Amino acid sequence: MDRVWWKESIVYQIYPRSFMDSNGDGIGDICGIIERLDYLKDLGVDVLWISPVLESPGDDNGYDISDYYKILEEFGTMAEYELLLKEAHARGMKILMDLVVNHTSDEHPWFMESRKSKDNPYRDFYIWRSGKNGREPNNWGACFGGPAWEYDEETSMYYLHNFSRKQPDLNWENPKVREAVFDMMTWWCEKGVDGFRMDVISMISKDQSFPDGIVSGGLYGDSSPYVVNGPRVHEFLQEMNRKVLSKYDIMTVGETAGVTIEEAGKYAGNDSHELNMVFQFEHTGIGDGKLGKWTTERFDFMELKEILSKWQTKLQGKAWNSVYWGNHDQPRSVSRFGNDSPKYREISAKMLATCLLSLQGTPYIYQGEELGMTNIYFDSLSSYRDIESIQCYRELTEAGLISEEEMLECLKLRSRDNARTPMQWDGSANAGFTSGTPWIEVNRNYPEINAASQADNSRSVLSYYKKMIQVRKSELGLVYGDFILQEPEHAQIFAYKRVCGADCYLIACNFTDQEAVFVMPKEFSENNTCLISNYDRGNYNGEICLSPYEAFVVKADK
């Protein structure tokens, strides 16, 4: 097999604002990350994807960048960022930068210039259109509520923003925009970053006719057919690859909301010369309803199994997968896909780890997932900090599309803030995250769920993650092996083989709180070695009755 480092790596996502505060201002920072590098090295992860730390007014917690060449003061200095690179590299770890170039902040100098006049040299860095009949140019809605167009008095025109009104979309049709972005990317590669996670990169090419979208369920037209996987997106990414990516030994992952299998084959195809891999979002959308993610629906296991299996088999041999349960935009994985009750939280978190780290594709662990951290279930809107949660709450309840009580229940299950509460380091005040007042409340369960209390406990979620990471690293067949689904109809168990040459593995995960009967396939029935099990059952032979959330990896003896 041709071995590739970004295929064998395990990525750990850090949301710096909530990871570790080193100076007591209640906000996580770069020096805080440096303080915790040994913890991450000990966990066994190889690459750190760090959410944005660049200059930003913080309208969307840093995904609204106003200077691509400056570190935001509350996160630290450029010297500290360079120290982080040095310290991570000294430990054999790599740093993935979060590249946000579908849009900038409205406080970026490019936009400040662009809005000044219709003939300003930077005018066409953004997407300006005249209104229609005194209204927005079309009926598109923004992801964070409201229309996707903002009227600007200065030149009596509207500008497009698919996210907040302080996040104007860049006009990638303009070769000067592409050149400015590629120059900036080169600058960071020369500084030593080891790759990019590319924010909503599937949205950089828009249908230039900007037609109305279909209104279904919400207040605005759906823009996704016209902004996702757009007409020139692959052309732009091939240009980016030619002018920047191909010049460095770096890793790239596209955040491609709305990506299909077919499109993923283009973005991440073995010979596409675009990106190494993409994030798909089908499994995170299970249960979505007429108001999108704002639902109290739990996930349907058979739908989850079908989606994950599809991505495993359809990309096999064509493109490389990424595999994840959560990130800074998603609820906590043990609350979303496991069971965060006191009885089942730990065992189901270990089950999810077994699945995440035995599928084909680069695995991504989100900060705190290795501890079994849970949703915070805020009782009041005033506890929320996320612009998406707050604006969507207001818009949907004021429009009478959902009651305040029901929307609060939806936020408890799906708000992005569930993943943004401070990392729970120990049982001291504020879970050891800050000596000051945290920017967002710490989860009340931190005395029971924290890294310090798990470090020396061999049966903790943290210890299980360390062991499962070592299993994956020692068994390359779990990286490069083919995925073969077993028992597709089983209503409780996600079971699959991984086959790589003479190495054959069987993984089975019970996703339910009920016992589940499972018959070992014949080639494993008698002679196999158990590599890991979250119930420490020594061996798996013949017909077994899996306990709630039981998971294991066995390797067929040769």
Sheet arrangement for strand 149-152: 128-129, 157-160, 149-152
Angstrom CA distances, 345 to 132, 288, 449, 461, stand at 53, 24, 10, 9
Contact 184, 198 (CB under 8 A): no
Q: Considering the rule CB under 6 A, would residue 356 count as an interface residue with ligand TEU? A: no
Q: Does 475 bind Ca ion (CB under 5 A)?
A: no
| Minimum CB–partner distance for residue 19 and Ca ion (Å) | 10
Residue 358 to residue 425: CA distance in whole angstroms: 27
Which phi and psi (to 5°) does residue 482 adopt? -70, 150
Instruction: Verify binding: residue 257, ligand TEU, rule CB under 6 A.
Output: yes
Does 63 bind ligand TEU (CB under 6 A)? Our answer is yes
293 binds ligand TEU (CB under 6 A): yes
Under the binding rule (CB under 6 A), the answer on residue 100 touching ligand TEU is yes
Among residues 330, 367, 375, the alpha carbon closest in space to that of 36 is found at 367
DSSP-derived secondary structure letter, 74: T
Question: Residue 72 binds what, of Ca ion, ligand TEU, none (CB under 5 to 8 Å, by partner type)?
Answer: none
- Among candidates 308, 206, 202, 304, which has minimal Cα distance to 263? 202
Q: How far is the CB of 149 from ligand TEU (least distance, A)?
A: 17
Residues 273, 270: Cα–Cα separation, whole Å: 8
Residues 432-471 that bind ligand TEU (CB under 6 A): none
Picked from Ca ion, ligand TEU, none, the partner binding residue 163 (CB below 5 to 8 A depending on kind) is ligand TEU
Each residue 413-432 as x (binds ligand TEU by CB under 6 A) or -, in order, gives: ---x----------------
55: partner contacted, choices ligand TEU, Ca ion, none (Cβ within 5-8 A by kind): none
- Verify binding: residue 99, Ca ion, rule CB under 5 A: no
408, HSE (Cβ side, Cα atoms, 13 Å) = 10
CB 54 to ligand TEU: min, Å: 12
Residue 80 within binding range of Ca ion, rule CB under 5 A: no
Output 283 or 472, the one with its CB closest to ligand TEU: 283
C-beta of residue 520 within 8 angstroms of C-beta of residue 506: yes
Buried b (16+ CB within 10 A) or exposed e, 361-372: bbbbbbbbbbbb
Q: What letter would DSSP give residue 521?
A: P
257 contact, one of Ca ion, ligand TEU, none, CB 5-8 Å limit per kind = ligand TEU
Torsion of CA 352, 353, 359, 363, to 10 degrees: 120
Contact between 42 and 470 (Cβ < 8 Å): no
The C-alpha atoms of residue 22 and residue 33 are separated, in whole angstroms, by 9
Stretch in the footprint of Ca ion (CB under 5 A) among 28-36, 244-252, 281-289, 339-347: 28-36
Q: Which two tokens stand for residue 151?
A: 């009227």
CA dihedral for 499, 500, 505, 509, sign (positive or negative) = negative
Residue nearest to ligand TEU (CB): 63
198 lies in the binding site for ligand TEU (CB under 6 A): no
Q: Are 43 and 396 in contact (CB under 8 A)?
A: no
Residue 303 has which token pair? 């739908």
**Site map 142..181 versus ligand TEU, x via CB under 6 A:** -x-------------------x------------------
Structure tokens at 512: 């339910």
Least distance (Å) between residue 25 CB and Ca ion? 4
Q: List the catalytic residues.
A: 199, 255
* By the rule CB under 6 A, 7 interacts with ligand TEU: no
Q: Which of 10, 20, 27, 47 binds Ca ion (CB under 5 A)?
A: 27
Burial class (CB in 10 A: 0-12, 13-18, 19+), 456: exposed
Q: Name the binder of 80 from ligand TEU, Ca ion, none, CB < 5-8 A by kind.
A: none
Binding of residue 366 to ligand TEU (CB under 6 A): no
Element containing residue 279 per DSSP (H, E)? strand 277-279
Q: Which amino acid is at 287?
A: G
Residue 200's binding partner out of Ca ion, ligand TEU, none, with CB under 5 to 8 Å set by partner kind: ligand TEU
d(CA 447, CA 517): 36
What tokens appear for 8 in the block?
Answer: 């064998």
> 64 to each of 23, 163, 266, how far by Cα in Å?
24, 10, 28
- Binding of residue 59 to ligand TEU (CB under 6 A): no
- With CB under 5 to 8 Å by kind, the binding choice for 29 among Ca ion, ligand TEU, none is Ca ion
Structure tokens, 440 = 């967002």
Structure token digits, residue 360: 């084909």
- Residue 21 binds Ca ion (CB under 5 A): yes
| Count of residues touching ligand TEU (by CB under 6 A) | 14
Q: Tell me: does residue 388 bind ligand TEU (CB under 6 A).
A: yes
Among 23, 224, 241, 486, binds Ca ion (CB under 5 A): 23
Residue number with CB closer to ligand TEU (94 or 328): 328
- Can you tell me which of 21, 55, 60, 194 binds ligand TEU, judged by CB under 6 A? 60
263 binds, among ligand TEU, Ca ion, none (CB under 5 to 8 A by kind): none
- Closer CB to Ca ion, residue 21 or residue 388? 21
- Please, what is the minimum distance in Å from the beta carbon of residue 103 to ligand TEU? 7
* Beta-strand pair 94-99/195-198: parallel
- Which listed option, ligand TEU, Ca ion, none, makes contact with residue 27 (CB within 5 to 8 Å by class)? Ca ion
Q: What residues line the site for Ca ion (CB under 5 A)?
A: 21, 23, 25, 27, 29
Q: What residues line the site for ligand TEU (CB under 6 A)?
A: 60, 63, 100, 143, 163, 199-200, 255, 257, 293, 328-329, 388, 416
